[in-house]
Amino acid sequence: MALEKGKNDLLFADIEKELRYISSIVKQKGREILNNYTITPPQFVALQWLLEDGDMTIGELSNKMYLACSTTTDLVDRMEKNNLVMRVKDENDRRVVRIHLLDEGKNIIDDVIKKRQNYLKEVLSDFSEDEVLSLQSSLKKLHREMKEE
């Protein structure tokens, strides 16, 4: 059953507003958690991309993060000094340098994400199991639809 076009503009405005507010709260909570670590939010985002997509060049990471290559280079320099990543020469083309996620970087990501998941678990503690499953299903469907566009 699809919603009638035009009739539910207020409904969609409200959904957009709630998603924006939720996103802001999650981002703020994530930053609070990161305060306990020696990395910045942009470094955390870079580490997440490396974990999800594997080794990549500065250019590839810059594109994913919508940053200038020079900014990403500075970011990687700081992460390399903290033993979170290392630069490695590409096996097939020695001119290409890839950024590789080290165990310390992976451990920070795992730890921070676990704390974010615990926060979400706490927030959803008053939801019934059916409500949580319904929320999960709806969010997955929304994500799929957005990825296809």
Q: What are phi and psi of 97, to 5 degrees?
A: -115, 130
Provide the 3-class DSSP secondary structure of residue 144: helix
Distance CA 22, CA 45 (A): 18
CA-based nearest residue to 22, from 30, 33, 32: 30
Of 49, 56, 15, 39, give the one whose Cα is nearest residue 111: 39
The model's pTM is 0.82
The CATH architecture that domain 29-124 belongs to is Orthogonal Bundle (1.10)
The answer for residues whose C-beta is within 8 angstroms of residue 142's C-beta and 6 or more apart is none
Q: Where are the domains of the chain?
A: 29-124
| pLDDT per residue as tens, the chain (149 positions) | 566 666 688 999 999 999 999 999 998 998 999 999 989 999 999 999 999 999 999 999 999 999 999 999 999 999 999 999 999 998 889 899 999 999 999 999 999 999 999 999 999 999 999 999 999 999 999 999 999 98
